[in-house]
Amino acid sequence: MELEHAAHIPEDARASIIAAYPAHERDARIRGIPVLGSGRVFPIADDAIAEEALTIPAHWPKIGGIDIGWDHPTAAVLVAWDRDNDTVHVCNTYRVREQTPVVHAASLLAWGKDLPWAWPHDALQHDKGSGSQIADQYRSRGLNMLFDRAQFEDGSFGLEAGVSVLLERMQTNRFKVARHLSDWWEEFRMYHRKEGLIVKERDDLMSATRYAIMMLRFAEVDKKEDRYRRREQKWIV
């Protein structure tokens, strides 16, 4: 039973109860969402980063992030970047297990054939069956995979560094997620530490999001829109 279902508590009293809880504990105390291990990786209330689904403005650059899996799902996110406010918006998600690159690529191409894709270091491995690099398998099926694995400008790609960048964006109101993306929210709420270490389970969309943010500098405006704007600028001149 959630607090909002407690009809015997007046609405103003409920508001006072909620306000008294620390922000990162509200989901656990109000909605019964558990805090596992030694705490959530992102101690942020849902409402602090949630937004309604938006129509992505054509001039916002976009990038995809993908985490490769088989027993655990292959997961992907579509990220749009409002550069004027330096705010990242997670607009779409994909999470499917036990399927081949040809299936995943066919689904993800619907997000845009020119969309650049950030991918993890384990996609450098070679498939045991075909012998080809996993990233190349997606590349050959039409996904615009970036030239190298997800990494920061200095070449590092540590988990904690990526998490820190995400958390800072959340804390400074520069990271938003569409409210209807239930699979993303499920992972976000359960993403936790045990004895100080991040538990690498059911974190596929969290990883995909991290890769996209690490390579945000390579986000691109849709090429059709870019060509239109160039023609428009030329005409104005």
Contact 205, 75 (CB under 8 A): yes
198/113 same-domain check:
yes
Instruction: State the amino acid at position 202 in one-letter form.
Output: R
Q: Nearest to residue 94, comparing CAs of 85, 104, 79, 83?
A: 104
User: Do both 123 and 210 map to the same domain?
Assistant: yes
Distance separating alpha carbons of residues 143 and 115, to the nearest angstrom:
8
* 163 is a domain residue: yes
Q: 21 with 96, same domain?
A: no
Is 39 within the bounds of a domain?
Answer: no
168 and 105 housed in the same domain:
yes
Which residues are 89's β-sheet partners? Answer: 80, 176
Q: How many domains does one find in the chain?
A: 2
Domain CATH for 145: 3.30.420.280
pLDDT along the chain (237 residues), means of 10: 72 76 66 64 95 96 96 96 98 96 97 97 74 89 96 95 97 98 96 93 97 98 64 42
The verdict on 81 and 110 lying in the same domain is: yes
Same domain, yes or no: 15 and 84: no
Residue 27: count other Cβ atoms within 10 Å of its Cβ: 21
Domain that holds residue 16: 3-33
Same domain, 29 and 60: no
What pLDDT is stored for residue 183 in this prediction?
A: 97
Q: Say if 219 falls within a structural domain.
A: yes
Q: In this predicted structure, what is the pLDDT of residue 213?
A: 98
Residue 124 tokens read as 């450098």
Q: What is the pLDDT of residue 233?
A: 44
Residue type, 182: S
Long-range contacts of 220-224, Cβ-Cβ distance < 8 Å, separation of 24 or more: 220/61, 220/62, 220/63, 220/114, 220/115, 220/116, 221/58, 221/59, 221/60, 221/61, 221/62, 222/58, 222/62, 222/112, 222/114, 223/114
Residues 83 and 113 in one domain: yes
Is residue 43 in some structural domain? Answer: no
Which tokens sit at 236? 């104005």
In this structure, are 134 and 187 located in the same domain?
yes
Same domain? For 123 and 14 the reply is: no
Pair (107, 185) in one structural domain: yes
Could you tell me if residue 233 is inside a domain?
no
Are 58 and 28 part of one and the same domain?
A: no
Residue 132 falls inside a structural domain? yes
Say what the pLDDT of residue 232 is: 46
In a domain, 237, yes or no: no
pLDDT of residue 75: 98
Inside any domain, residue 72: yes
